[in-house]
Amino acid sequence: MGQTLVIVESPAKAKKIQEILGPSYRVAASVGHMRDLPVKELGVDLVTLRPSYEISPGKQDVVTNLKRLAKQSDEVVLATDPDREGEAIAWHLQKTLNLPDTVKRVSYHEITAPAIKKALANPGRINLHLVAAQEARRVLDRLIGYQVSPALSQKANVNLSAGRVQSVAVRFVVDREREIKNFTPRDYFVCNLRLAGHPQFTATLDQRPFLKEGERLWLASDAKPFLGPQKVKLVKAEVKPSAVKPKPPFTTVELQNAAGKIFGFSAKEVMSLAQSLFEQGAITYHRTDSPNLSEEGIQKIQAYLRQNQLPVADKVATFKGKSDAQEAHEAIRPTHIEQEALGQTDAEKSLYRLIRERAMLSVMPNGVDSVTEYVFVSERTIPDVESKPRHPQYHTKGKVVQEEGWRAYATLEKPSTKDNPLPKLDKGAIFDGSVTESQKTTEPPPRYNEQSLIKAMEAKGIGRPSTYATIMENIKGRGYIQPLAESRAKSPNFVPGKHGYYIVDALREFSFLSYTYTRAIEASLDKISQGKMSYMNLVKPVQDQLLDDIENRLVAESLALTGRCPGCQKPVIQKFRASKGKGSKSPSAYWVHRDPHDADGCVQYLNDDKDAPVLPPPEVTSPCPNCNELLVRRYSRSKDKGPYWAHKNREHATSCGITFFPDNDGSPGMPEPKVTAKCEGCGGTVKLVKNRKTGQPLWVHEARSPKCGSKFLDDLDGKPAPPSPKRTARKRAS
C-alpha cells in the first residue's frame, strides 16, 4: 500500500513515466481502449440511441489486472492522451474499474519529468463534454457503417462497406477521376514583352482587363492586337526587401504531408512512428491542429540556439491555424531540442530529424530577399472587356537573396535560394519593345495522392488529424481506391478501385456523402465538446435522415455474377469469403443457390473456376482409424491445396481427441504422435514441430505467454534448447 496507480494507454508510455515517477507510483497500461461497442452487432439502441459497451476482445486479463492494482493502491490517477479519444478512454476506465466520479484526471503534452510532475500536481476531472463528443462520433460511425453497409451489400450482392468519412474520401477520388476523364485540353496564348538590349528579360501581359473572369486568349486572333513592335514606358520600378518566413512547426496533417513527400511514409506509418516517439518522451503530443509552439517550447529552442551560436529571431514568427481546430495544443516539437538523433529505428530517427528541423527553424530569423517589380505600359490602346480603350500593362518580378536566414540551416526541406535578378531600369524611361505570343495547353487537375487527399479533406473540414491514417488504410485496404499502376513516386497517385465508383454512385444522394454535410457534422461534434450542444440533438436527426436515405435514396444494381448450377440447372450467384492469415490478398470466390431451398436436392456450396460455377468433387468418406466415426476428405486452402481428413461431425473430434488426419494415398492415416518435453527455463510444456518454411525441427511452448519469455526453442538432437538469455532477461525486466 502507499502507492498511487497511474493508468496510461500503452506499455511503452507506462515504462517511460514509471522511470520518471519512481517507486512511490505504479504506472500501468490499459493497452488502448478497454471496452467498445460489440463487434458483431449494432450496439446502439434504436429507440434511445444510446450505446451499449462491452469489454474489448482480449482485454479481460488487462481489466482484471487493473482492478487488482486499483484495490492495492491508495489512489488512482487517469493519465491518458490529451484529446477526445484519450478522454473517452479515461471515462471507460472509470466505469470499468468502478472508480468514483471524482477520480483524478491529468493531462500532459510531453513525457518529460517537469511535464509529468506538473500534471500530477494539477489534476482535474474527466471532461464529460469531450467524452460525449467522442461517443457521438463513435455512434454516428456505427449507425452509418452497420446500417448502410448491409443495405448496400444486399443490393450489390457482394460485401461492401460504407462509412461516414471513408465514403466521402472515396468520393474525392471518384469525382477527381471523372474531372480528369471529362477534361478536354484546350490551347491558349500568352503574350510576352521583350525589351531591345535586354534579350533575357521578359514581362507578361496582364490579361484581366481584356477578358471575362475565367477566360483566356483562346485564339491566335485574340492575341494578335497585342503583338509586334511598340514603345513601352516603365511606370513602376520598385525595389524593396521581402521577408521569407520559415515554415511553421508541424501539425499532424503537415507532418504526414512532409514525411510522405520526403521519405515515402504513409499516413499510418507516420502516426505509428510519431506515437512511438511520443511514448519514448522524444516529442510532444503528435495529434494537434496548432501550427504554433508554446512559449515554453520557444524558450527551450532559443536557449539551445544561443548556446550553440546559432541565430535567433528577434520576433518569432506566428502562424494562422485552422478556425475549427480541435486539438489546439502546441505544434509538434522535440522535448529535448539538444538531442540531434532520437528514436529506436531508422524510420523513427528520420521522422525525429524532420520534426526537430522544422521546430528549430521556426524560431530562427526570417530570410530576406530583395524583390524588384517592374510594370510597363504600352503605347497601344486596345478595347477592354467593356469596349473602352485601354493601354496594356506588362508585369515582371525578380529577386536576389540578401540574407538566407533560416534557409541556411535547412537540410531535409531545403528551399530554393536561386537568384533571379532583373536589369537596373529607371522609372519613367521609354523602351523599344516587342510582344510575341507563346502557345500553351490547359491541363486537367492532378490526381490525389495520400498527402493531397488528406489536405483536401482537411480543407473542407472532413475528418480529423487522429482519423486520417485509419481512413486511408480502410479505403486502400478494401480496394475502393488504388495506386496508379504506372506510378513510381514515393507516394503514388490514386484512382478509384473496382467498387469505388459503385459505392459513390449508389450513395450519391445520401446526406452523409455531401462535403458540406460532413463538415457540418464535425462542427456539431465541436459544439458537443464545448457543452453547447447535446448528444441527442446531433445523433437523432442524423439517424432519422439516414433511415430515410436508406429507404428512398439507395440506387444500386447487383454486382454479383450469376449462372446456372451445373448439377441441378437452378440459378446460382457468386459470393466471396474473406481470406485468412497473414499475407492474404484477395478473397476467394464460391457459388450458392439463389434460392437456398434448391441446395436441399443438390449441394450447398459450389466451387469457382475462373468466375464459373463448378460442382465440388464428390464427397469421400472413411471410418476414423482412431474412433471409427465418419471422416470426410477435404482440401487445404493453402498453396499446396493438399488433401486431409476431418470428422464430418465436429463433435466427434472432441471425443476422439484428434482434429485432423493426414491423407495416405486416398485413405486417412494417423497423425504422428506428439512429442513433448519440459522447458529448462520455466518448466512449461513444449512440443516438437517443424518450421513451415525450412522444415527444420523446433520446439514451441503450449502456453501463449511462457514465463521464460521464449515462445520458440531451438532443437538440440531431439531435445529443446535452453531459452535465449536475452529474451528471458527482457521478459523479466518488463
Measure the CA–CA gap between 165 and 302, rounded to whole angstroms: 41
Answer with the one of 385, 408, 441 that is the final residue of a domain.
441
Find the mean pLDDT for residues 414-422: 89
149 shares its domain with 239: no
712 and 652: one domain? no
Q: Model confidence over 111-154: pLDDT tens digits?
A: 999 999 999 999 999 999 999 999 999 999 999 999 999 999 98
Residue 398 lies in a domain: yes
Residue 177 forms part of a structural domain: no
Per-residue pLDDT at 344: 93
Question: Mean pLDDT throughout 615-628?
Answer: 90
Q: Do 381 and 487 reside in the same domain of the chain?
A: no
- Domain assignment present for residue 131? The answer is no
Instruction: Give 731's pLDDT tier (boundaries 50, 70, 90).
Output: very low
- Domain count across the chain: 7
Residues 121 and 146 in one domain: no
The owner of cell 520518471 is 20
Is residue 462 domain-shared with residue 535, that is, in the same domain?
Answer: yes
pLDDT at 729 over 60: no
> Could you tell me if 384 and 239 lie in one domain?
yes
Whether residue 557 is contained in a domain is answered as: no
Name the catalytic one among 108, 285, 480, 502: 285
* Residue 316 domain flag: yes
Band (pLDDT 50/70/90 cuts) for residue 463 is confident
Segment among 312-316, 538-542, 636-640, 700-704 with least mean pLDDT:
636-640
Query: Beta strands 643-647 and 660-664: pairing type?
Result: antiparallel
Q: Is the pLDDT of residue 313 over 70?
A: yes
Q: Residue 728: which pLDDT band, with cuts at 50, 70 and 90?
A: very low
Minimum mean pLDDT range among 119-123, 304-308, 439-443, 514-518 = 514-518
Find the mean pLDDT for residues 496-502.
Answer: 92
Q: Is the pLDDT of residue 530 over 80?
A: yes
151-178 pLDDT, tens digit per residue, is 999 888 888 999 999 999 999 999 999 9
Looking at the fold, whether 237 and 377 belong to one and the same domain comes out as yes
pLDDT at 242 over 80: yes
Amino acid of residue 594: R
pLDDT at 321: 72
- pLDDT at residue 32, rounded to an integer: 86
The whole-angstrom separation of Cα 39 and Cα 278 is 30
Give a yes or no: residue 649 inside a domain. Answer: yes
Confidence of residue 639 (pLDDT cuts 50, 70, 90): low
**Torsion of the alpha carbons at 346, 352, 355 and 357, rounded to the nearest 10:** -90
Average pLDDT over residues 406-434: 93
Q: Which of 498, 518, 552 is the last residue of a domain?
A: 552
Q: What is the pLDDT of residue 584?
A: 39
Q: Summarize the confidence of residues 310-315 as an average pLDDT.
A: 94
What is the band of 581 on the pLDDT scale with cuts at 50, 70, 90?
A: very low
Task: Give the range among 1-10, 189-198, 259-268, 275-284 with minimum mean pLDDT.
Answer: 1-10
459-475 per-residue burial string, b: 16 or more CB within 10 A, e: under 16: eebbbbbbbbbbbbebb
- Give the HSE-up count for residue 711: Cα atoms under 13 Å, Cβ half-sphere: 2
Residue 35: is its pLDDT beyond 60?
yes
**Whole-number pLDDT of residue 725:** 67
- Predicted confidence band at 322 (pLDDT cuts at 50, 70, 90)? low
**DSSP designation for 621:** E
Are 257 and 311 found together in one domain? yes
Q: Are residues 437 and 573 in the same domain?
A: no
Instruction: Give per-residue pLDDT as tens, 586-603.
Output: 567 899 998 989 998 898
Domain boundary among 614, 632, 649: 614
Given pLDDT bands bounded at 50, 70 and 90, which one contains residue 657? confident
Mean pLDDT of the chain, nearest integer: 91
Are residues 681 and 657 both part of a single domain? Answer: no
- Residue 100: per-residue pLDDT: 95
Q: Which residues of 661-694 are buried (b: 16+ CB within 10 A; e: fewer)?
A: bebeeeebeeeeeeeeeebebbeeebebeeeeee
Report how far residue 435's alpha carbon sits from residue 554's, in angstroms, rounded to the nearest whole number: 58
Q: Is 502 a catalytic residue?
A: no
Q: Is the per-residue pLDDT at 469 higher than 60?
A: yes
Q: Is the pLDDT reported for residue 521 higher than 60?
A: yes
Kindly state the average pLDDT of the residues 234-242.
96
Provide mean pLDDT across the span 465-472.
Answer: 89
Residue 290 belongs to some domain of the structure? yes
Region of poorest pLDDT, from 135-149, 219-233, 557-571: 557-571
pLDDT exceeds 50 at position 713: yes
pLDDT score of 631? 94
List the CATH number of the domain containing 388: 2.70.20.10
Local confidence band at 582 (pLDDT 50, 70, 90 cut-offs): very low
- The three-state DSSP-derived secondary structure of 439-489 is EEECCCCCCCEHHHHHHHHHHCCCCCHHHHHHHHHHHHHCCCEEECCCCCC
- pLDDT over 90 at 673, yes or no: no
pLDDT higher than threshold 60 for residue 350: yes
pLDDT band at residue 298, thresholds of 50, 70 and 90? very high
Q: Which domain holds residue 283?
A: 252-365
Q: What is the pLDDT of residue 726?
A: 53
Q: For residue 346, give the H/E element and its range.
A: helix 346-361
Residue 9 shares a structural domain with residue 118: yes
> Mean per-residue pLDDT for 210-225?
94
Instruction: Establish if 660 belongs to a structural domain.
Output: yes
Query: CA dist 178 to 168, 302, 447, 493, 501, Å?
Result: 15, 50, 10, 15, 10
Res. 11: pLDDT tops 50: yes
228 and 265 share a domain?
A: no
